[in-house]
Amino acid sequence: MNQLTLDNPPPLPADSADLQTVLAAWHGATVRLEQTHEALRAEVQRLTHELEVKNRELARKNRLADLGQMASHIAHEVRNSLVPVTLYLSLLRRRLPNESDCRGLVDKIAAGFTALDATVNDLLNFTADRDPRWQAIDVRALFEDVFGSLTPQLAAQGIETYVDVPFGEQVMADSDMLRRAILNLTLNALDVMPDGGQLVVTTYSGPRGVEIEVADSGPGLSDQVRRRAFEPFFTTKNNGTGLGLAIVERIAECHGGIVTAANCPEGGAAFTLHIPHRRLRAAA
C-alpha cells in the first residue's frame, strides 16, 4: 500500500477543479463589478455637481435676462423723458444773459443729464439683442477713429498711445459693435490712468481668429476684480454703471468669441478680444 506525502498530494476530483475555476471567475467578476460600481458612483457624483453648477448658472442667466428686459424698458422710458428736458434746458440757456449766475446752474444741470444719458446708453447697449451685420473691418483704421474721437481726453490726461497693428489687418465683424467694444476697453483703460500713462494696442492673427489686445500701464487688476470684471453692474468706480466690460463680453459672444482679462508682466492690465475667423461666404 503506497504512502501519500505532502509533496505528492492526491489529484483533485474533476468536479472540484471545475468548482475552483468557477469560484475564481466569480471572485474576479465580483471585484470588477465593485470597481465598476465605484467608478459609476464617482461619475454620478461628478455629473450631479456639474448639473448643480449648470442649474445655478442657468438661473443666473435667467435672472439677468429678466433684469435686462426690465432695464431696457426703463432705459427707453428715461430716454423719452430726457429728450424734451434737454431741449428745454438748451432753450433756457439761450435766453439767459451771458453774465447771469443762472447759466452756471443750467450748465451743471445739463452735465447731470449728459451723465444720465450716458448711463441710459450703457443700458441700451447691454440689453441690445441683434445679430451682427458682418463685414470686413480694417482694425487699424478703427482704432485710429476711436482714438481720434478721444483726442481731447487723451491729451488732458497725458496718455501716450501706441498702435501696433499691421496696415491692412482685417477682421470679419459688426462695425458698430466692434467699435463699441474697442471704445469701452479704451475708456476702461483711461479710467485707471488719471495721471497719465501708456495705452498699447496690438493684434495677432492666428489660425483660429484675430486677437485684439488693449493694454494699459495702470495699477493692474486684483484677483477679485479680474474674476468679476465682466460681471454686469460690478464696478470699482464711484460713478460707473458696471456695464462697460459686460457690453464688451456680450459683443464678443455675439461674434462667437470671448474677451479675457489679465495682468501684464511689466505692470498694468490687458484685455484681449478674441474673434474667430469667418469666411465671407458664411457672412452673406
Superfamily designation of domain 134-283 = Histidine kinase-like ATPase, C-terminal domain (3.30.565.10)
Residue 260 CB neighbour total at 10 angstroms: 16
Enumerate the CATH 1.10.287.130 domain ranges in the chain, comma separated.
15-129
9-60: pLDDT as tens digits:
555 455 677 778 878 888 888 888 888 888 888 888 888 888 888 888 787 7
Q: Are strands 197-205 and 159-164 parallel, antiparallel or unpaired?
A: parallel
Q: Which residues contact 267 (CB under 8 A, 6 or more apart)?
A: 217, 220
Taking the complete model, does pTM exceed 0.95, yes or no?
Answer: no
**Of 182 and 118, the one with more pLDDT:** 182
- Phi and psi for 273 in degrees, rounded to 5? -100, 120
Residue 95 CB neighbour total at 10 angstroms: 9
Candidate CATH numbers 1.20.59.10, 3.30.530.20, 1.10.287.130, 1.10.1380.10; the one for domain 15-129: 1.10.287.130
**DSSP H or E segment with residue 265:** none
Separation between Cα atoms, residue 264 and residue 134, nearest integer Å: 32
- The C-alpha cell 472540484 sits at 16
192-229: pLDDT as tens digits:
999 999 999 999 988 889 999 999 999 999 999 999 98
